[in-house]
Each structure stands twice: as C-alpha cells, then as structure tokens.
Structure 1
C-alpha cells in the first residue's frame, strides 16, 4: 500500500527538504510513497510538521499514524487540543553536534576570557592567566539529548561539570543532581551556567531573581535553550549590579529580538540570532524516514513526546 506523507511546513522548508526526504525514504527502503504538501486529510498516513506550518487543526487527519516534528522544540504544538496522534520531536545528529559546538565554543570563550583580548586592543598588555578547565566549574541545567552531549564534551575538555535535571540521571564523569535541593547546589557552584531545559510550565522563569542570587558572584550565563527560561528583568538587574558578569543569549521570548530590547545595548550581554543549533535537512530527513519505516513495520516510534511532561 502506498504510504501517504504530508509535508506540513512553510513553502521555503519544502524547497529545502523535498529532495533530502526523498533520498532518506528510499534509503530506508520506502519506495512506494507519496510525499506532498497537498494530500486529502483522511488519506494522510504520516505528517512532517513544523509548529508554524499550515496545519493547526489536526482533527481531520484521523488516520494519521504520527506527527513528525521538524524541530527539537515542541512547546508550540504539544498543547494543541486537536493533536490526537503520537508526536515525535526531532532528535537529529546534526542538530546535536551543532549545539555541542556552539556551547563548547562559548564556554571556552568565557573560560579563557577571550573577549578582553578580542575587544581590548588598546595598547594595554593584559596578561591574565585563566585557570585550567579542571578548575572551572560548569553547571548545565537539562540533561536530555542535547544537555548530556554538551556535558560530555565539556567533561572531555577537562571541565568540572555538574548537571541538573528534573529526574535523576547517571552520566559517566558528570556530577548529576535532581530536585529542588539539587538545583540550588548546581546553581551554587556554577561559575559558568548553561541552560538547556525544554520550555514547559515548570521551567518558565526557572532562572529568576532568587535563583540568580544563589550563583557565585561574577558567574556567566549561557542560554541556547529557550528564551522563557530566564526572567529577563531579573537578569538585567543582576548584570547591572555586577552579580552576573556576562550573559550570552541565543534564544528570546520574542524572536527576532526587537531592536529596542535592552539586551542589544547592554555591555555585558552577547546576543546571537538563534543559531546555536539548527535542524540539518539531510540528517533530520533520515530521522523522519526511520520513524516512518518503524511505523510501517509495526515498531515503536523514536523520540515520542510525553504530553504530561511536555517534551
């Protein structure tokens, strides 16, 4: 029977993904298929979906076996009351490696104090010797796929890495904490803090004034996770007071970040335009094709979202 696959994302994504998806489907042994942006709802077997795509009402797709998200984040789709089929989030090798490279680069940048040399070309001989990585304490909030990979990369470089997650994890060479007491401990030792939690009702404003106050004075915050994890007013106040030395932020409550937002002009903030990690069409297409192969073979889908947890 022909597998009917609806591509429910914006037109520019179709131009980007059509050829890689066809290659991936055929590579997964799926040769009898229709891949299109226009399939009658009742005929759709699988839906490749982006939360900002054309499908917002999932009720008509009553025979759809799974919605396969193009993005890692599912916060803008999981709460849709019409979503009745299983939802798989994107866990993509390319996305993961991109995040590891971005996080590692910015942790090293702050650890080594590179900004002072890059921006301080004023004739002053600044010979500030940084500590070794093994003497620098880094905490990562969120030990899912991305957080665990970043923690492992930083551990490999020699950093003293602590990880925190809602449920207890066990990762080789990483001090893993959980619960409210564990969060306070992770924050209390974080000379560099990396935020890689998903956006849920429980994680919004997880870094508020009270929790920022638990961090060592002069700490650095790096957020490539989700914008709403941070109380922006609390962070700006902590930066103004010098409690937090610098914040490197890749994600924001409103994107693109409005030109008038105080982050742009703050001397202790680095803004990057949501580039920490992007889904790569070739590798993401292989993840989608594998889930379709699994669905047709009666095997469990990969990376299913738990609606109760929100990720």
Structure 2
C-alpha cells in the first residue's frame, strides 16, 4: 500500500463513472491503452479483480465497489485540499529583481503587476529600467535573473517567452520642417537626418529599423541617439531629425500635437518584447514570477496585450 499510485485510483474512478474504457479515455485525454494498463496495474497492486467483463459490459466486483468508494473519498479530499490552499494567502517569500525596457505601455501588463501583488504579497520587487541589450548582458552575467525587453532571436543560456508585439512607425516633431507639410511621401524622407535609439544598429535589438532604412535607400545621417524613449521624443520635438517609435505609445504625443506620424501609414516593422530569464538561477520567488507572468499572459491575445488606454 505504501507504493500505491493514487493516480490509478483517479483513473479507476473515471472508468466506473463513464462505464467504459473508451469514454474514460476521452474524459482523461489519454489513450484507451493507457486506461486499460492503469486498470491492470491497480488490480495487480491490490491483488484483487475489480471489474468483470461480459457481453460488452462490465460489472464491479465486491472489491471493486469498495475500491470505488475509497477512490471517491480520496479524490474528494484532494479537491477540498486545492480549495483550502487557494483560499489562503500565498506563502512564497523573497525578493526578485526585474529588468525592463522603458515605456512598456500595455493595460494587460499594468494589470499583471496588480495581480502578482495580490497573489504574492510577501515577495518584494526591485524593478529597474534598462536598454534591452544591457538587459541581455546582465542576465548572461547572472547579476539578475529576469528581464522584459527586445529579443529578436533566441539567446543561448536564456529562456524566452513572447510577451508583446510593437509596431514601429516613422515620426517627426513640431520643430521639424515636415511637421507642417501638407502632404508627405515616403520618398520625401530619403535625405532626412535621423534621431535613433542606441540599439538601432545592425545586430542590435532594433536592427529591423536599420534594415528598413537601408532597403529604402535613405541617405540621411544619424545625428542624435539615446537609449531612452523620452529623450528620443525630446530630440524629435526639437527638430533634430525624423525617427522611429512604437506607434501605440507615440500616439499619445501625436494627440498632444507634439509629434506627427510620417509614411508609410501602416508603419515600418513589428518588434517583439519577450520575458527573458536564466532558468537555473531562479529562486522560488523568481520562479513564481515567471510562472505567474506566463499564466496571466496566456489568458490574453496579442491585440489585448497591445491595448493601451493611456
């Protein structure tokens, strides 16, 4: 009895409830062969015949009826245990350090943080804002274990979970001569200078923007750079050049009359944000964060994650 597999009792309970091996298979989402083997293993461990088959039907033996009653009681207790545990505060304690790219604007992301606090009130959070390339380097060097940033390709030694897709577009600020132009075509941008993120280089986390400019023959120089979104916006508004920004976040500045979106109207490219973590370095608190993030985001599709009420 010390070696009895309680999962066998659960399978036996479903067989009796469904009155069929095939129906039990469908209910448990396993093969009929696996259900039959589970029944044979249980009968072997108990050294009792539990079911007699006859004419396409089966009947419980006296031992089978006793085992079914026990199986119902055991699985009922397990269900009550789950309810009891879910009704008390989570007792995971500790501290996590999360590195995040700047200006992640998502209503779902905001709600996740509230949800995590509600589920893990004893976990302290240290949240740092950092360039995506620096996040990756920091995780590789094991001075932090969790990051949220741009990761256009798999990274050796790090796990990766897709979080948010950002559509980038071209913008100019109110200090730029194109801001007040009646009409602007893509070819009108060919000679304009650029304000760019520091990671907007071939091989960097924003390299799709560089590739787009090269493909369209833009000859303007990058005359101002910053790793920080707000400083890029400041330089654009001051008229230093044109630049690429996430469309959903820059839209707030467009509504305020400080930025103007430039061609092409459908934007330039999609850039993906991922949660990154070093699996073998996670503490219990860190693992709780990773599990909760994945579980929460899996309940929301791409459009919901990208939605921002401002």
Structure 2 length as normaliser, TM-score?
0.28
Structure 1 length as normaliser, TM-score?
0.28
Larger radius of gyration: 2
More helix by share: 2
More strand by share: 2
Higher relative contact order (CA 8 A, sep 6+): 2
